[in-house]
């Protein structure tokens, strides 16, 4: 297959492109606008004969129409992805997440192209800490932030295009990813690179919020499985049973990096901060037989710390500007 991967120069998209080119004989065209979150270097070393990067915007209907017409399938990762940014400037989230997705599904409908939409568990809102239930494919949508509401909107557009126009689409909603190539604005790489720089990690509020962590390589294998074997029109939740509260994550990072466990600061909490996410991925596991390879979050985190230590050239250029932005927001 020839895949068009939008947002392939971002964190999860680039992990997917590496995974596909390593484990299949599919070829890949990445369409990426190289916003502040995209990095060409995340795609270094890929085979020229099976890989191409097109720098462009997913709201560019002419470009999207041509590239979609040339592809056998579209895997749509491109998004504005950071909750904190969406609280300070929501507009790009509407443009990319809503209008961009609309532009892609219109092209896929016209050309009859198979479409896989990447989304997030945040569309379901949040859970109480002691809620015995986790999110399933049946959980009602209830997003909290400008980011998650635009992702929810994009999911609903895809669902409507399946029902109204017969778009051959699947959707996946995944939990929080960690691993190589994640921007230093995000929680785990921000704290790892802070410790490397001799700066104390920054915990929002009391740090009791829970996220359900999955390694990006496991997200990639799940998406490939759904693309190749998923039932058209279906939604699959992707998760690896990795619930951890933020304070434990910071303490684990500090210990793994040889620092005292309590060497972190509390900073201003995020407005509207979701308390807990948790994914039940039974459908994906029983229907399609998918399993995560990283069973142990601490082992995955240790690999990730090693990656950031060894790839300072990849993240260094973004660190100062990212921390300056947090400083302005009172979260530094
Ligand atoms: P990211 O911010 O690291 O990467 C986004 C990429 O999209 C960047 O390369 C950027 O240049 C590109 N992009 C942004 N706007 C564009 C536009 N208008 N046209 C073309 N390219 C554009 O994001 P990520 O964390 O890799 O997330 C990828 C996808 O996965 C998103 O759809 C996100 O909602 C979803 N997701 C993320 C997580 C997570 O934990 N990070 C979890 C579940 C789902
Ligand atoms: O410095 C920090 N301190 C802190 O305590 C930062 C940056 C974050 N946090 C907290 C907020 C969250 O509870 O850590 C948790 C994780 O924060 P983020 O990395 O910003 O992720 P989150 O808001 O949970 O969203 C992520 O997972 C779901 C991705 O950014 C989304 O794109 C995805 O949909």
Half-sphere exposure of 88 (CA within 13 A, CB side): 10
Q: Is residue 202 part of a domain?
A: no
Q: For the segment 233-258, what is each residue's pLDDT rounded down to a tens digit?
A: 999 999 999 999 999 999 999 999 99
Q: Is residue 13 part of a domain?
A: yes
Clarify whether 147 is annotated catalytic: yes
Q: Is residue 106 part of a domain?
A: yes
Ligand 2: which residue has its CA nearest to atom 20?
186
Per-residue pLDDT, 143:
98
Q: Is residue 286 part of a domain?
A: no
Q: What are phi and psi of 184, to 5 degrees?
A: -70, 0
> Which token pair is 252?
């684990």
Position 330 pLDDT exceeds 90 = no
Clarify whether 197 is annotated catalytic: no
CB 242, CB 210: distance < 8 Å: no
Using pLDDT thresholds of 50, 70 and 90, give the confidence band for residue 329.
Answer: confident
Q: Is residue 45 part of a domain?
A: yes
Q: Is residue 47 part of a domain?
A: yes
Q: Is residue 318 part of a domain?
A: no
Which one of the listed residues 32, 122, 218, 280 is annotated catalytic?
122
Instruction: Give me the DSSP letters along 150-185.
Output: HHHHHHHHHHHHHHHH---EEEEEE--EESTT--TT
Per-residue pLDDT, 176:
98
Classify 17 as helix, strand or coil. helix
> Which token pair is 34?
């190289």
Structural domain tally of the chain? 1
Cα 185 to Cα 11: distance, rounded to the nearest angstrom: 12
Cα 297 to Cα 309: distance, rounded to the nearest angstrom: 18
Does 176 sit in the ligand 2 pocket, CB within 6 Å?
Answer: yes
Q: Buried b vs exposed e over 133-145: b needs ≥16 C-beta within 10 Å?
A: ebbeeebeeebbb
Ligand 1: which residue has its CA nearest to atom 37?
120
Ligand 1: which residue has its CA nearest to atom 15?
79
Query: Where in the sequence is the domain holding 28, given as residue range(s)?
Result: 2-178+214-238
CATH at 12: 3.40.50.720
> What's the length of the chain?
332
CB 213, CB 178: distance < 8 Å: yes
Average pLDDT over residues 266-295: 97
Clarify whether 32 is annotated catalytic: no
Which one of the listed residues 57, 80, 106, 121 is annotated catalytic?
121
CA-based angle 253:255:257, to the nearest 5?
70
For residue 26, how far is its CA from the centre of ligand 2 (angstroms)? 32
Cα 100 to Cα 150: distance, rounded to the nearest angstrom: 11
pLDDT over 70, % of the chain: 100
Q: Mean pLDDT score of the chain, rounded to an integer? A: 98
Does 7 sit in the ligand 1 pocket, CB within 6 Å?
Answer: yes
Cα 9 to Cα 36: distance, rounded to the nearest angstrom: 11
Q: What are phi and psi of 6, to 5 degrees?
A: -85, 145
Q: Is residue 289 part of a domain?
A: no
Global pTM value: 0.99
């Amino acid at each position: 297959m020839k895949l068009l991967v939008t947002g392939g120069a971002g964190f999860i998209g680039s992990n997917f492109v590496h995974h596909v080119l390593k484990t299949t004989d599919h070829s890949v065209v990445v369409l990426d606008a190289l916003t502040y979150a995209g990095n060409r270097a995340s795609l270094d070393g890929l085979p020229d004969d099976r890989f191409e990067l097109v720098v462009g915007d997913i709201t560019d209907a002419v470009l999207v129409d041509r590239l979609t017409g040339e592809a056998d399938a579209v895997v749509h990762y491109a998004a504005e992805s950071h909750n904190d940014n969406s609280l300070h400037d929501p507009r790009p989230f509407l443009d990319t997440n809503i209008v961009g997705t609309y532009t892609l599904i219109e092209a896929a409908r016209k050309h009859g192209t198979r479409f896989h939409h990447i989304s997030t568990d945040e569309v379901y809102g949040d859970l109480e800490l002691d809620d015995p239930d986790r999110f399933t494919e049946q959980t009602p949508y209830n997003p909290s932030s400008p980011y998650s509401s635009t992702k929810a909107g994009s999911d609903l557009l895809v669902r409507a295009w399946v029902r109204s126009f017969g778009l051959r689409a699947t959707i996946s909603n995944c939990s929080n990813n960690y691993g190589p190539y994640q921007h230093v604005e995000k929680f785990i790489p921000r704290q790892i690179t802070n410790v490397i720089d001799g700066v104390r990690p920054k915990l929002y509020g009391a740090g009791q919020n829970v996220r359900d962590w999955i390694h990006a390589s496991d997200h990639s294998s799940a998406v490939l499985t759904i693309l190749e074997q998923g039932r058209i029109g279906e939604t699959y939740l992707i998760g690896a049973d990795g619930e951890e509260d933020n304070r434990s994550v910071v303490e684990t990072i500090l210990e793994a990096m040889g620092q005292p466990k309590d060497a972190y600061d509390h900073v201003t909490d995020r407005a509207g901060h979701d308390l807990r996410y948790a994914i039940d991925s039974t459908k994906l596991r029983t229907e399609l037989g998918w399993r995560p390879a990283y069973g142990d979050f601490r082992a995955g985190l240790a690999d990730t710390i090693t990656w950031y230590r060894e790839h300072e050239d990849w993240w260094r250029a973004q660190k100062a500007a990212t921390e300056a932005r947090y400083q302005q927001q009172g979260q530094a």
